[in-house]
């Protein structure tokens, strides 16, 4: 009965079966179902180690139609495995791999080194060999070490239409890119690294030049401008191209943007979402400098809809530049970001309160009228009363100045860590001797006037503490 349905209907049924096992069962029903549903099985490909990569590569070399079926390619969970001498010889003597390496390489030396690194099981070597074959890829998720010479080389050849990209332009349908740096993969890469062992931004930059890409996520990114000398800085500023990229969403995690990541941010013609999480763990970090992001994002004031700055970032007392005080720097007024719907910013960066109890510029004069969600992080308990008063003023002007506002969130160090006899707040227990961590009663009391105003205005108010998010 099922086989009598038109192929289009059958494919719709197959697409509703999200589990790969269910799709494999369909493939095994008949020869007709095998040919019909096998490309659906290859729609999303997850590679976990060299054996997966080798099997998949031989499958798409044998049936190129399967390569055209792939929409998502994911190696973020790559596990480094030793390759036996027998398997190494099989890889080295594979006629298909030898021919593919000959096509992809520009010299015999390159081909031989590539073959050697395939036999070492390097994720970089396998991914760079496979991805050029996936002509209809829309989502790419890569795990990589501090240096990825094969992926670097492949991307630059794709942009320059060099072999193996001599035909149609490469990656025409690629829209989402995720680059996940993993330190465990650094250990398998004995080539040069950047000064602090972090990934080179050369892997990230080419994706900004692909016209189809809209979203990019990466971690452990060091600002490219941090890697050039001061004498080169002015020349780099002059040569900085503005608005050439089609990327609308950038998410940089555990990164260091000494210069506001301007090489990435300023390149976007219509940036809609920018999320940045700072980390001082990079040797080249000079501390979190919000004003640098204000300058780099100035080209996106009319398009930016979502801004997360330093969500749960890591700040050390000292950085390469010395005493780390820049993390308390004021970002600047957001009022000119006329499309902004949601922001997530630390209190010292949202309001200029350093060395004083009241902001130099009131919150109401810092916010654009387009806001729907306010999320303020890093509020110290001593500033909570001031922040409540500032937000009350915003709510009172909601109808005339902030008609879209729906959600207010405040995060800070608000939890109880009670000692014996401490009755500050309600203390319950998960078990014998394990006190429950909870937001202090006096924090709720301080926020109660704001809660009342939010209820009356039809807004949602939430208090958060990151200690609770890990329980």
- Looking at the fold, whether 111 and 49 belong to one and the same domain comes out as yes
Looking at residue 253, its pLDDT comes to 95
Indicate whether 315 belongs to any domain.
Answer: no
Encoding tokens for residue 380?
């110290």
**Residue 98, pLDDT above cutoff 50:** yes
Average confidence (pLDDT) over 75-90:
94
Q: What percent of the chain has pLDDT over 90?
A: 61
φ, ψ of residue 186 in degrees (nearest 5): -60, -35
Query: What is the reported pLDDT for 419?
Result: 43
192 and 51 together in one domain: yes
Statement to judge: residues 363 and 433 lie in one domain: yes
Is the domain of 216 the same as that of 74? yes
Q: Which residue has the tokens 């030396």?
A: 109
pLDDT score at 67: 92
Strands (E), 57-184: 72-74, 139-144, 176-181
CA nearest neighbour of 374 among 350, 420, 407:
407
| pLDDT greater than 80 at residue 135 | yes
Instruction: Kindly state the average pLDDT of the residues 99-105.
Output: 95
Q: Are residues 80 and 13 in the same domain?
A: no
Is 128 inside any structural domain?
yes
Question: Looking at the predicted structure, is the pLDDT value of residue 232 above 70?
Answer: no
- Helix, strand, coil shares of the chain, percent, nearest 5, are 40, 15, 40
Helices (H) and strands (E) in the chain, counts: 19, 16
C-alpha span between 229 and 249 (Å, rounded): 29
CB 83 within 8 Å of CB 119:
yes
Whether 20 and 32 share a structural domain: yes
Average pLDDT, the chain: 84
Q: Does residue 235 lie in a domain region?
A: no
In terms of Cβ atoms closer than 10 Å to its own Cβ (0-12, 13-18, 19+), residue 88 is middle
Q: Which of 404, 368, 377, 247 is nearest to 311 (CA)?
A: 377
Q: Distance (Å, rounded) from C-alpha 10 to C-alpha 200?
A: 46
| In contact, 186 and 238? CB cutoff 8 Å | no
Are 178 and 192 in the same domain?
Answer: yes
For position 312, what pLDDT does the model report? 84
What gap in Å lies between CA 418 and CA 248, rounded to an integer? 46
As a whole number of angstroms, the distance between CA 236 and CA 344 comes to 31
Position 195 pLDDT exceeds 70: no
pTM of the predicted model as reported, rounded to 2 decimal places: 0.85
Same structural domain for residues 141 and 197? yes
Range of lowest pLDDT (137-151, 236-250, 336-350, 439-453):
236-250
Q: What angle do CA 375, 338, 336 make, to 5 degrees?
A: 90
Q: Is 364 exposed, middle or buried (0-12, 13-18, 19+ CB in 10 A)?
A: middle
* Most confident of the ranges 77-91, 187-201, 238-252, 411-425: 77-91
Residue 3: the pLDDT is: 56
What mean pLDDT do residues 199-215 have?
A: 90
End-of-domain residue from the set 191, 220, 249: 220
Bigger pLDDT: 392 vs 242: 392
Q: Single out the residue in 220, 240, 260 at which a domain terminates.
A: 220
| Same-domain check for residues 35 and 68 | no
Q: How far apart are CA 416 and CA 409, in angstroms?
A: 19
For residues 83-101, give the mean pLDDT.
95
Residue 240 covered by a domain: no
Q: What is the mean pLDDT of residues 94-107?
A: 95
Task: Answer yes or no: do 28 and 132 share one domain.
Answer: no
Identify the pLDDT of residue 62. 92
Does residue 192 carry a pLDDT above 50? no
Name the band, by pLDDT with cuts 50, 70 and 90, for residue 30.
very low
Mean pLDDT of 34-58: 83
Count the domains in the chain: 3
The 10s digit of each residue's pLDDT in 398-457 is 999 999 999 999 999 898 765 444 444 343 333 444 456 789 999 999 999 999 999 999
- Residue 184 in domain: yes
Two tokens, residue 170:
């490469």
Number of neighbouring beta carbons within 10 Å of residue 67: 22
Q: What is the pLDDT of residue 314?
A: 83
pLDDT band at 39 (very low <50, low <70, confident <90, very high): low
37 and 115, same domain (yes or no): no
Report the percentage of the chain scoring pLDDT > 70: 78
Residues 340 and 460 occupy one common structural domain: yes
- Comparing 109-123, 242-256, 330-344, 427-441, the range with the smallest average pLDDT is 427-441
State which of 170, 203, 220 marks the end of a domain.
220
Q: Give residue 31's domain range.
A: 1-41
The reply to whether 275 falls in a domain is no
How far, in Å, CA of 38 to CA of 20, rounded? 11
Q: Of 13-27, 268-282, 312-326, 454-468, which range is least confident?
A: 13-27
- Establish if 312 belongs to a structural domain: no
Residue 209 belongs to a domain: yes
């Amino acid at each position: 009965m099922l086989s009598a349905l038109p192929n289009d209907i059958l494919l719709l049924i197959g697409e509703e079966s999200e589990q790969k096992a269910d799709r494999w069962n369909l493939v095994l029903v008949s020869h007709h179902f095998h040919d019909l549903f096998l490309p659906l099985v290859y729609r999303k490909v997850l590679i976990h180690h060299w054996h997966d990569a080798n099997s998949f590569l031989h499958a798409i070399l044998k049936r190129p139609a399967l390569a055209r079926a792939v929409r998502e390619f994911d190696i973020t969970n790559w596990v480094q495995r030793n390759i036996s001498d027998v398997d190494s010889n099989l890889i080295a003597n594979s006629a298909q791999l030898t021919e593919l390496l000959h096509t992809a390489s520009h010299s015999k030396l390159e081909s031989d080194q590539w073959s050697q690194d395939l036999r070492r099981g390097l994720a970089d070597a396998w991914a760079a060999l496979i991805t050029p074959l996936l002509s209809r890829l829309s989502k790419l998720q890569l795990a990589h070490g501090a240096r990825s010479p094969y992926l670097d080389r492949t991307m630059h050849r794709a942009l320059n239409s060099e072999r193996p990209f001599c035909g149609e332009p490469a990656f025409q349908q690629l829209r989402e890119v995720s680059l996940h740096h993993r330190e465990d993969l650094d250990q398998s890469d004995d080539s040069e690294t950047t000064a602090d062992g972090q990934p080179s931004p050369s892997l990230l930059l080419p994706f900004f030049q692909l016209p189809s890409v809209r979203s990019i996520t990466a971690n452990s990114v060091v600002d490219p401008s941090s890697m050039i000398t001061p004498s080169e800085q002015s020349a780099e500023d002059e040569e900085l191209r503005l608005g050439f990229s089609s990327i609308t969403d950038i998410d940089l995690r555990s990164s260091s943007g000494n210069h506001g990541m301007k090489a990435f941010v300023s390149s976007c013609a219509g940036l809609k979402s920018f999320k940045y999480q700072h980390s001082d763990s990079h040797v080249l970090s000079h501390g979190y400098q919000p004003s640098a992001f204000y300058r780099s994002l100035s080209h996106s004031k009319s398009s930016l809809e979502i801004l997360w700055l330093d969500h749960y970032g890591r700040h050390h007392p000292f950085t390469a530049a010395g005493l780390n005080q820049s993390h308390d720097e004021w970002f600047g007024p957001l009022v000119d970001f006329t499309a902004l719907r949601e922001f997530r910013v630390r209190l010292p960066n949202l309001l200029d309160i350093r060395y004083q109890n009241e902001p130099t510029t009131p919150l109401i004069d810092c916010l654009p009228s387009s806001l729907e969600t306010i999320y303020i992080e890093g509020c110290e308990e001593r500033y909570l009363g001031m922040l409540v008063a500032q937000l009350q003023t915003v709510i009172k002007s909601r109808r005339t100045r902030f008609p879209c506002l729906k959600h207010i969130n405040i995060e800070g160090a608000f939890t109880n860590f009670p000692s014996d006899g401490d009755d500050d707040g309600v203390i319950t227990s998960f078990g014998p001797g394990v006190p429950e961590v909870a937001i202090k009663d006096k924090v709720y009391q301080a926020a109660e006037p704001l809660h009342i105003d939010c209820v009356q205005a039809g807004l949602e108010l939430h208090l958060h503490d990151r200690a609770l998010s890990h329980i």
